[in-house]
Amino acid sequence: MPSAPEHEARRRAPSAAVRPAPPEPAGPRSVLPGAPEPLGARFATGPDGTPGTRFALWAGGAEAVELCLFEEGGGGDALRETRLPLTAGAHGTWHGFVPGVLPGHRYGYRVHGRWDPWTGARWNPAKLLLDPYARAVDGDFSLPPHVYGHVRDWPQQHVADTVRDERDSAPYVPKGVVVHDDDDWSDDHRPGTPWPESVLYELHVRGFTMRHPGIPEQLRGTYAGLAHPAALEHLTRLGVTAVELLPVHQFAHEDHLLRRGLRNYWGYNSVAWFAPHAGYAAGGTRGQQVGEFKRMVRALHAAGIEVLLDVVYNHTAEGGELGPTLSLRGIDNRHYYRLQDDPRRYADHTGCGNTLNVVRPAALRLVTDSLRYWVTEMGVDGFRFDLAAALARTATHDVDMLSPFLATVAQDPVLRRVKLIAEPWDVGPGGYRAGAFPPPWSEWNDRYRDAVRDFWRGALPDLRDLGYRLSGSSDLYARDGRRPWASVNYVTAHDGFTLRDLVSYERKHNEANGEGNRDGADDNRSWNCGTEGETADLRVRALRRRQVRNLLTTLLLSAGVPMLVAGDEMGRTQRGNNNAYCQDNETGWVDWSLLDDPGWRGVAALCARLVALRRAHPALRSPSFFSGLPREGSGLRDLAWFTPGGTEMTEADWYAPSATLGLYLSGPEVPAGEPGGAPVTGESFLLILHAGARALRFTLPGPPWARSYALLANTALEDQSTAPDLHRDGGSRISVRGRSVLLWRVVPEREGSAPLSPGP
């Protein structure tokens, strides 16, 4: 039962706020019979040949639904609203056909029903709702009190969510836009890069292009800017095979940020899962953003680069019970969201106030329809799912790899063929599920991130965990037919320090976020090389660049799929901010002037060189897990580990503290990509990682491993292009500088002992 104050709030709800103005008469517009399929707004031809738009909205528990059309002519900047009733169809779908509504027309919905938050019912027709199937959105959320379904500033905040606000929200919220789907994708050629050959590059559409001097100013920060030849040239020179775009679904800015004069920059606050974010469009927001996004995809595909989207289906921008009413809450709150035993409250497994209830049919359909749309009509090649464990929760809130969402994706003929990456956790109970997702999923591997960071800062107790991470994390993924590419390896991501900051700061510096430096992770596994923050000390700066080269080299030469972060290859810094989600400014944007610095330009060149090596040599991107067993005939192992003395590591060596590891990859012994498939052959390599501060002597393994070696990369050098040709016999003792990586190519006997170029 509600408490006494709750009873009072319920009793006073009808008179708690100003009544909405009466709707404009329908005028000449009329609603003809429509169809319950497909959902959304679809431009079409009516029964009499008249062009118009079919509208269909699922609102299962509603008592009535009004379609609201908006046109200029309301006086000043206001739009004139026309409200038209839709017909209730079968299974909760409301629909109609409106002649004369053409592409570019703006619209929304008002949904009527009970206001009873104690049972989870939060219908409020005073609030204009964005169509969850809207393919374009015009306008932005300003989040005044009118946008909340409850009286936001009710004096008794503990019951504020139960008091209905009847002020009209239409002037303060964006509208959906009718879009004409007439694109022909026959001229588009998807790269179709196999997983083992993939190198991902996480970037922000706006942040990547805002400061690029080669992109025209009017295109910076936009989809068109990312499609510009200057942006494509950097991506192709670097050699990455796919861009992973931070959220491009239409999103809203949180109220607490707007009050502090900030904005949501990363975009993990979705409100429309079919619409490309209008703020990244150069050509307009009345549907032009859709065509601009498609042209960007075509340009990237033409450059041989796949497009993956970072998608946020786990929660919406409506937040918890004290959040605004923008779309799903006002359509059918009880169906779309997970509610607690007390239906007033939301089950929050995301840390963002609510969790989408993909166990429910309409919610599950919304997500899968959106995914298919982006593949089939927008041309994308895959997805990275933010907090994917939240989508794998069942009706009992448990994370289950046989959940409805995962089962649906696994059998879907469109979705099962694209790249699927899980962030394999959420913040709810039992939410950490790294290694548990089934085929065909890959996962962000935070175990890789932590082990590599700890090794290079000297914090690993022994080498066991590092060995697993470098060789593809078979302890996590070698089951159910999964392969090394199930592991998406990364050292940094958008969330946390940049690579340069990882070696420059030991503490977060998030004061600019306005939260008293309380936000962001405290455990960064970073090392500042002896000085906190930027410094004029040339020795510290050189060491930091070397550490960046070490981390990048380790990442790009590990089994699995490497993910780089835009700007890390050129020393981008956020000045120690490890949670720049609200920094839509120079803090969050890529600084392209860094390439004018020879030191950082050398890092970028090394990165491109390593990507090329990886692409050229199967041993550096093995499609299957290594066995580590001697092969018949040669007696060599496909993977072998060596101590600095040039001997194979014993079990005791794995448990002993050490800062040095030798990794031998035998090209002729690389396991086949598929059972019964053609053997994968190639050259062999020796990788030496030395995290100790002092130089040491390392004995290169002699026959049968190799008679001689040629040096390909040495991270102790600022400029790899000036490295001398270096050739050493097997069994030689070489000097390895402190904190450096050496990559040696095994010289086949047919090449003799002539010195070799260090390039591939």
Q: What pLDDT is stored for residue 73 in this prediction?
A: 77
Q: How far apart are CA 156 and CA 163, in angstroms?
A: 10
Q: How far apart are CA 185 and CA 204, in angstroms?
A: 25
59, 92 contact by CB (below 8 A): yes
497, 692 contact by CB (below 8 A): no
Secondary structure (H, E, C), 509-562: CCHHHCCCCCCCCCCCCCCCCCCCCCCCCHHHHHHHHHHHHHHHHHHHCCCCEE
pLDDT in tens, 562-618: 999 999 999 999 999 999 999 999 999 999 999 999 999 999 999 999 999 999 999
Cα dihedral value 203, 208, 214, 218, nearest 10: 120
Left if phi > 0, otherwise alpha if psi is -120 to 50, otherwise beta: which for 393?
beta
Q: How far apart are CA 686 and CA 667, in angstroms?
A: 11
Q: For residue 198, what are the contacts with CB-CB under 8 A and spacing of at least 6?
A: 241, 242, 306, 419, 485, 561
Q: What pLDDT is stored for residue 182 in this prediction?
A: 74
Q: How far apart are CA 462 and CA 469, in angstroms?
A: 13
- How much helix, strand and coil, in percent to the nearest 5, is found in the chain? 30, 20, 50
Q: What pLDDT is stored for residue 188 in this prediction?
A: 85
Q: What pLDDT is stored for residue 760 in this prediction?
A: 32
Dump the DSSP string for 176-213: EE--------TT-------GGG--EEEE-HHHHHTT-T
Which residues make beta-bridge pairs with 94? Answer: 57, 88
Q: What pLDDT is stored for residue 672 in this prediction?
A: 61
Q: How far apart are CA 402 and CA 700, in angstroms?
A: 48
Task: List active site positions.
Answer: 386, 423
Q: How far apart are CA 485 and CA 403, in angstroms?
A: 23
Largest CA distance in the chain: 92
Instruction: Dig out the tokens for 536 from the structure.
Output: 């004029």
Low-confidence stretches of the chain (pLDDT beneath 50): 1-27, 753-760
Instruction: Dig out the tokens for 272 from the structure.
Output: 């429309």
Q: How far is CA 310 from CA 72, 227, 326, 580, 710, in A?
A: 35, 18, 22, 17, 40
Q: What pLDDT is stored for residue 667 in this prediction?
A: 86
Q: How far apart are CA 404 and CA 19, in angstroms?
A: 42
* Residue 755 CA, distance from chain mean position: 44
Q: For residue 714, what are the contacts with CB-CB under 8 A and spacing of at least 6?
A: 720, 723, 740, 741, 742, 743
